Chain A
């Protein structure tokens, strides 16, 4: 059983989002890290890049799988988690503590399309 944290929002493509003011912190869920297995590389955008809700902003790779990172919100990348460049396996250790990017949100209404913890837990159960 994978972990789901209350208070975060979730995308159907298994990213989590934590919204504080106009900044969204984005990572992948425990379910996603478990499905991928040992993560060996995280392909991240650069600070200043624009991301669009529903479009990919990077990818997470394990030895024999790869998964696109789909942005749950639109906006400008203000920070990336540089620690993942040398230690991508941190996501396997704790997917919620190890965020991937922070985005300055351009359209707050997009968050309404995301799932809450209960709905996301149900989605994972059915997959």
Chain B
């Protein structure tokens, strides 16, 4: 009966049954109606030794291809320093549960406090929660947060230039919960301020969600947005790339009340879609409406500085159906990931990552435009991601790139293609990439 993860010997089982006073383990299931007892074997493979398991994963892995990535769409191939995986593999971190017992969870509580501090620095906001599942679900929660903060208004405006995955998830949540959504159209690749003002004047607007950078990679100019939203007593939220906030004007500087986004850009492996983390930061006046766990600093009985989960009275385990959200976990280990990444990069390193990525992206952009085969889709500022128009056969181009080990641009349709470059790409790779594209 014993297995490497189940230690029970026949002798152990006998001793335990005797103590309990039953004849067999089956007796412990006597209360279950016989008709629902599962009597077959599971239809799964036979047990594998560690060697067999490793071989199996190698075989599966061989059916994947690791590519030199020149696309983004919300997930970017940033470099992960070696230190992070070493520290994350300390099992005191990863085999712990939620820090419900603060006396023996100060490690987790303190790194979450540091995480909150760092994200607040990036967004410019006063408060950040302990993290959400991903950027898109964080955006959906921000939609609820804005509706909850503004009495008797139930409409949220979404910029059409938000990333598609964010729009999809927010729409799903809104549809079931019952929030009215209105899409603010784009004009020349950016959110149309005049169209937004029309919607604001139409009334019932609790808040507005805007992207930074947007779905085309454009860094939008939000001059005048916050004033327009606040004039009708609405809230302004910005969905931002936290890495880019090392250099870009922050949501707080734009006058936003809330910021959210996806932490993947903070050096996290792409991992075929997750785990990453979502973040939410807000100004103090929104704090009590912010969902999720929050860690605060306090002192213990002897006056030592320490950290605890706080503001728990907002949460589902206390407020049940009146809670601000149903979330009852956070992406804790990924928050540690982001914290260690930001500690290593520091205030200068994160700027350098942005500089190197943006320099590479602009280099690629200029080479493609200079070839005459591509034109800018919009004449707007960008950092590491940009959209071009081309008359080339996009499918054929991407197939050619794939053959040489490159992930080509995302195909947005109508001859529009979106490229991304990170500090993980080199000038030589970019030159080769361009040559393959221009072979046609």
Contacts and interface: CB of A to CB of B under 8 A. Distances in A.
A and B touch in the complex (CB under 8 A): yes
A45 to B, nearest CB: 8
A68 B313 CA distance: 11
B149 to A, nearest CB: 12
B297 to A, nearest CB: 15
B288 A43 contact: yes
B322 interface: yes
Given A41-B288, A41-B313, A43-B288, A65 B318 contact: yes
A65 B151 contact: no
A53 interface: no
A63 B322 contact: no
B319 interface: yes
B195 to A, nearest CB: 30
Contacts of A64: 312-313, 318
Q: Is the interface of A mostly helix, strand, loop or mixed?
A: strand
Interface in B354-394: none
B322 A68 contact: yes
Contacts of A49: 151
A68 B288 CA distance: 14
A76 interface: no
A46 B319 CA distance: 22
A63 B312 contact: yes
A63 B312 CA distance: 7
A92 interface: no
A66 interface: yes
B175 to A, nearest CB: 26
A61 B313 contact: yes
B317 to A, nearest CB: 9
Interface in B212-251: none
Given A49-B151, A61-B313, A66 B318 contact: yes
A66 B313 contact: yes
Interface in B284-331: 288, 312-314, 318-319, 322
A49 B150 CA distance: 12
A64 B314 CA distance: 9
Interface residues of A, number: 14
A65 B314 CA distance: 9
A20 to B, nearest CB: 27
A62 B151 contact: no
A3 B246 CA distance: 56
A35 B155 CA distance: 38
Contacts of B288: 41, 43
Contacts of A46: 151
Nearest to B320: A66
Nearest to A56: B322
Contacts of A65: 313, 318
A45 B151 CA distance: 9
Choose among B151, B313, B318, B322 the residue with the greatest number of A CB atoms under 10 Å from its CB: B313
Interface string B383-423: 00000000000000000000000000000000000000000
A62 B313 contact: yes
A50 to B, nearest CB: 9
B241 to A, nearest CB: 33
A46 B314 CA distance: 20
Contacts of B318: 64-66
Contacts of A62: 313
Nearest to B310: A63
Interface string A58-85: 0101111110100000000000000000
A116 to B, nearest CB: 30
Contacts of B319: 66
Nearest to A66: B313
A48 to B, nearest CB: 10
A59 B319 CA distance: 11
Contacts of B314: 61, 66
Interface string A19-51: 000000000000000000000110101100100
B8 to A, nearest CB: 38
Contacts of B151: 45-46, 49
A81 B264 CA distance: 44
A41 B314 CA distance: 11
B290 to A, nearest CB: 13
B312 to A, nearest CB: 6
Nearest to A45: B151
Nearest to B289: A43
A29 B314 CA distance: 22
B298 to A, nearest CB: 11
B306 to A, nearest CB: 15
Contacts of B312: 63-64
> Which 3 interchain pairs have the tightest Cβ spacing?
A61-B313, A66-B313, A66-B318
Interface of A: 40-41, 43, 45-46, 49, 59, 61-66, 68
Given A45-B151, A49-B151, 6 more contacts: A43-B288, A61-B314, A62-B313, A64-B318, A66-B318, A66-B322
17 contacts: A40-B313, A41-B288, A41-B313, A43-B288, A45-B151, A46-B151, A59-B313, A61-B313, A61-B314, A62-B313, A63-B312, A64-B312, A64-B313, A64-B318, A65-B313, A66-B313, A66-B319
